[in-house]
């Protein structure tokens, strides 16, 4: 477990900023309960500063996980968010999309969000912006990237894709053997 390098921090913050924008300062500058970003193998963890200090006494090969896994670095150096980061992304999301009950299950099975499944969406969502997908009961279901802007989405056919799925809570079951290893 080690702190992120400057280049790694930049890559992680760029990915987080796509979803939460300037609200990333709430993750970094929490005076009441300071948290830090740590790298263990290729995974980035968001962990309380106190817990990170205690974890320093554990050997690296014996430490499996620490705090909340935000995502992992791919072999090419890109950062990919995991569904375990949904708790923090949904708190500070800039853009939101709510799906109707008939669209929840297709999304949770790993499909993209169609126009027919949208209950409501934030105003002024640009194309290719990160957004959080909620059920109509305000339960965060996952996150994705907008395929169209809000104004374009209003004029689409019901079968057109409005948001590309990046992660959903169904991954806990579909990928349980590889999610935490």
Q: For residue range 34-44, list pLDDT tens digits in order.
A: 999 999 888 99
Task: Walk across the sheet containing 140-146 and list its strands.
Answer: 113-114, 161-168, 140-146, 130-135, 96-99, 118-121
Average pLDDT (120-142) is 94
**134 and 106 both lie in a single domain:** yes
**101 and 60 both lie in a single domain:** no
Enter the pTM of the model: 0.87
The reply to whether 33 falls in a domain is yes
Average pLDDT (81-103) is 94
Query: In total, how many domains does the chain have?
Result: 2
Q: By the 8 A CB rule, do 61 and 47 touch? A: no
**9 and 61 both lie in a single domain:** yes
| pLDDT at res. 181 | 65
| pLDDT at res. 97 | 95
Judge whether residue 59 has pLDDT over 90. Answer: no
The reply to whether 181 falls in a domain is no
Higher pLDDT, 66 or 145: 145
Judge whether residue 73 has pLDDT over 90. Answer: yes
Average pLDDT (133-158) is 94
Domain that holds residue 142: 94-174
The reply to whether 180 falls in a domain is no
Of 103, 94, 167, nearest to 124 by C-alpha is: 94
Sign, CA torsion 69/75/76/77? positive
| pLDDT at res. 30 | 82
């Amino acid at each position: 477990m080690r702190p992120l390098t400057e280049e790694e921090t930049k890559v992680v913050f760029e990915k987080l900023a796509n979803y939460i924008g300037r609200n990333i300062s709430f993750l970094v500058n929490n005076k009441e309960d300071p948290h830090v970003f740590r790298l263990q193998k290729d995974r980035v963890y968001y962990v309380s500063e106190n817990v990170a200090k205690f974890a320093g006494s554990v050997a690296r090969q014996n430490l499996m996980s620490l705090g909340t896994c935000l995502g992992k670095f791919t072999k090419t150096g890109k950062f990919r968010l995991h569904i375990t980061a949904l708790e923090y992304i949904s708190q500070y999301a800039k853009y939101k999309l709510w799906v109707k009950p008939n669209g929840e299950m297709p999304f949770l099975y790993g499909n993209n969000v169609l126009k027919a499944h949208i209950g409501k969406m934030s105003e002024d969502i640009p194309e290719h912006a990160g957004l959080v997908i909620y059920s109509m009961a305000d339960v965060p279901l996952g996150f994705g990237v907008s395929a169209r802007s809000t104004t374009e989405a209003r004029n689409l056919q019901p079968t057109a894709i409005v948001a590309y799925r990046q992660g959903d809570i169904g991954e806990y079951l579909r990928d349980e053997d590889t999610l935490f290893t």
